Every structure is written in C-alpha cells, then in structure tokens.
Amino acid sequence: MSTNGSTNIFLPVSDLTDLLTRIFIRNGVSRDSAGILAANCAWCERDGSLSHGIFRMPGYVATLKSGWVDGCAKATTEIAGAAFLRVDAQNGFAQPAWQDSLPQVFKMVSEQGVAVVAIRNSHHFSALWPDLEPLADKGLIALSMVTGLACVAPYGGRRPVFGTNPIAFATPVADAHPMIFDFATSSISNGDLRIAAKSGHQIPPESGIDASGNLSADPSAILSGGALLPFGGHKGAAISLMVEILASGLTGGLFSSEVDFSSHPGAESPRTGQVIIAIDPQRGGNGAFERRVRQLIDTVRDAGQTRLPSDRRYRTRELALSNGIPLSQEQHEALLAMAG
C-alpha cells in the first residue's frame, strides 16, 4: 500500500482498528486474533511506526491468502519451569499467542520475579514495542527478540544467514512513559533496502555485500544474490547471532536460514520464533528502580542527547489521539476496498 498521497483524513484509533479488524476477518482470521492484529497495526500507524502500520496490510492479506499462516490458530502453552513458559503458536501469528500467555506471565513474574516466554512456530510481521509496552506500563523490565527471513550475512560471510532480527527493550521510568527501544540488528531494514532499490537510491557502503561478497552501496546488487550486513561490524553480528540463538534456538523455532515459503506464493511473514523476558525490578538491589532510571535518563538528556528512543513515538501518539491518525484519501480507500 502506497504511503504517498496527500494527508486529508484523520481517523480515530478505534475506527482504524475496526476497519483493520474487518480486513483480517475477511481474510480468514478468527475474531479474537483479528482484533489483536488490528490493534497492533493501528498502534504502529498511530505512533508513526509506519513501516509496520497499514503499509503491512497487503502483506498480511497475501500471506493469509497463500495459506502459509493459520489465522485461526490457537496457541498451546506449557509451564516448562517456575519462571519459564513454552508457547507453540501452532503456525499462527505471534501476537495472539503472546496475548494468551500474558496472565500467566504476570503471575510468574509476581511469584518468581522473572518470566521467560519462548514462543515457536509463530509469525511476527510487526514492530516489537507493542508486545513490551503493556509489561513496562505495569512496572516491569522487558526484553524481546524475533528472527526473520535470511537476508543478513554473518561477519565476513558471503551469504545471508540471519534475519534482520530485531531486538527491543522496555523499562519503566518514574513519572514518564516507559522508555523503549526497538530496532533491527541489520545495518538497514529490508523494507528500506527495497524502497532504495525501487527509487534507484544508493545506501551507505557498509550496509551490504553483492553476490561476490564485495561491499556494495547498490541496493539492487544486494538484492540480487548479495546480503545486508549486521549493524556495528563484528559486535552487531554477534548480537544478531544471539537473537538467532534465543528467538529460534531456545524457543524451538526455525532459524531464519531454515524458513522456506517457496511453496506458498505470496507469503511474506517468517515462521520462526520469539523470546520475551520479563523482570520485576523490585527484586533488584536499590529499591528505587524507576526513580534511578529517571535520574539516569535526565543525566543523559542533560549531557546533550535531546531525543531518546520512544520520545518521537509518544509525541506522534499524542497528536494522533487528539487529532486522529492521518491517512491519505488513497490509503483510506485502499483499506475500505480490502475490507469489502
């Protein structure tokens, strides 16, 4: 769905959520899961996380139509230890599986101080911050990682092994919204790579390699048998390796390099795994965690970092909540057509 076009409609979040729910239901998603996926997508659009807002709807629909994902899957959950939940999403989307396990997660964290949730056989096609914000809103620290489709080469490697493997971290902050960062561990996102290729723009030279393994700033060369690189050289590559180990190895999901949807033309979402770790900071040592984080963040701002992760999102959210979510006429019409 094009993100171009003039902005001339402002939809309340609830209206956009209802419209997206209709699209999911029309494409074979159960009512409960449709509501969860629609809210997730609408929140991304509301907060200006546009790479995972309505832009993704054609991909969701194509993936559902291809039969690669089960929109009616009902996740199964096993208690694998006092603080360990094992979730099989049964080839459904990760978010409904995560939502189902939330009551158990809160119970585990209150009893044990920590919960590790290992979700496998799941499709994640969105940003990670919506998964974590409800935990941080309740005073918990949270960390999540997801594997994807192999398009990132390991350090010094010549072919893709890793997904863009995002990692997100959320912490409560005294008298403020939680601070959440959430980004891919690749040099740039796959979506940005494709946009650059389409528009004929070069990307920074350390971002990828061509089919011969040479550094390349040409997105088309990277897409034709080359690979993206992890951010931050060998350090980012090690973090991406860790994401594979925790989000796929630990959970029992497929590694990014094992995903094969070639028999489902139109499929776009990876069927891999997701790990989420929730920690009660009150179990830590200083008894004043949220105030200490606030103090640290204030020190960081004082030192000159004017924008911290999630600042922009909360500002965008505030505007959307008072004015509505800005959409072009073209985007709105495309959504209405998808909803039938």
Q: Please identify which residue in the block is written with the tokens 């989307």.
A: 93
Asked if 126 interacts with ligand NDP (CB under 6 A), we say: yes
CB-nearer residue toward ligand NDP: 228 or 278: 228
Residue whose C-alpha is closest to residue 339's, from 38, 63, 91:
38
Asked if 100 interacts with ligand NDP (CB under 6 A), we say: no
In whole angstroms, the minimum distance from the beta carbon of 161 to ligand NDP comes to 15
Cβ neighbours around 194 below 10 Å, total: 13
In whole angstroms, the minimum distance from the beta carbon of 70 to ligand NDP comes to 18
CB-nearer residue toward ligand NDP: 109 or 228: 228
Token readout for 55 is 């832009």
Token readout for 312 is 């922009």
Which of 10, 84, 106, 183: binder of ligand NDP (CB under 6 A)? 183
Return the C-alpha torsion angle 197, 160, 239, 124, nearest 10. Answer: 70
Which of 3, 51, 77, 257: binder of ligand NDP (CB under 6 A)? 51
Active site residue 52: yes
Cβ neighbours around 108 below 10 Å, total: 23
Give every CB contact of residue 337 below 8 A, 6+ residues apart in sequence.
none
Q: Per-residue string for binding with ligand NDP, 147-166, x by CB under 6 A?
A: -x---------------x-x
Asked if 271 interacts with ligand NDP (CB under 6 A), we say: no
Distance of CA 98 to the CA centre of its chain: 13
CB-nearer residue toward ligand NDP: 231 or 289: 231
Residue whose C-alpha is closest to residue 224's, from 235, 212, 211:
211
Gap between the terminal Cα atoms of the chain: 16
Active site residue 207: no
**In degrees rounded to 5, what are phi and psi of residue 221?**
-65, -35
Round to whole Å and give the CA distance between 264 and 260. 9
Residues in the chain: 340
Which of 16, 127, 152, 327: binder of ligand NDP (CB under 6 A)? 127
Residue whose C-alpha is closest to residue 271's, from 130, 120, 58:
120
Asked if 307 interacts with ligand NDP (CB under 6 A), we say: yes
Asked if 146 interacts with ligand NDP (CB under 6 A), we say: yes
Burial of 254 (0-12, 13-18, 19+ CB in 10 A): middle
Which of 218, 313, 327, 331: binder of ligand NDP (CB under 6 A)? 313
Q: Per-residue string for binding with ligand NDP, 63-82, x by CB under 6 A?
A: --------------------
Distances (CA, A) of 76 to 25, 108, 122, 214: 22, 17, 12, 45
Q: Which residues of 127-148 are buried (b: 16+ CB within 10 A; e: fewer)?
A: bbbbbbbbbbeeebbbbbbbbb
Which of 184, 237, 246, 320: binder of ligand NDP (CB under 6 A)? 184
Which single residue brings its beta carbon nearest to ligand NDP? 127
* Residue 185 near residue 167, CB atoms below 8 Å: yes
The residue range among 25-33, 127-135, 253-261, 284-292 that interacts with ligand NDP, by the rule CB under 6 A, is 127-135
Q: Which helix (H) or strand (E) holds 77?
A: strand 76-81
Asked if 304 interacts with ligand NDP (CB under 6 A), we say: no
Asked if 182 interacts with ligand NDP (CB under 6 A), we say: yes
CB-nearer residue toward ligand NDP: 17 or 274: 274
CB-nearer residue toward ligand NDP: 108 or 118: 118
CB-nearer residue toward ligand NDP: 290 or 311: 311
Active site residue 212: no
User: Given 33, 47, 49, 52, which residue is catalytic?
Assistant: 52
In whole angstroms, the minimum distance from the beta carbon of 113 to ligand NDP comes to 26
Q: Which residues bind ligand NDP (CB under 6 A)?
A: 49, 51-52, 124-129, 146, 148, 164, 166, 168, 181-184, 189, 307-313
Residues serving a catalytic function are 51-52, 192
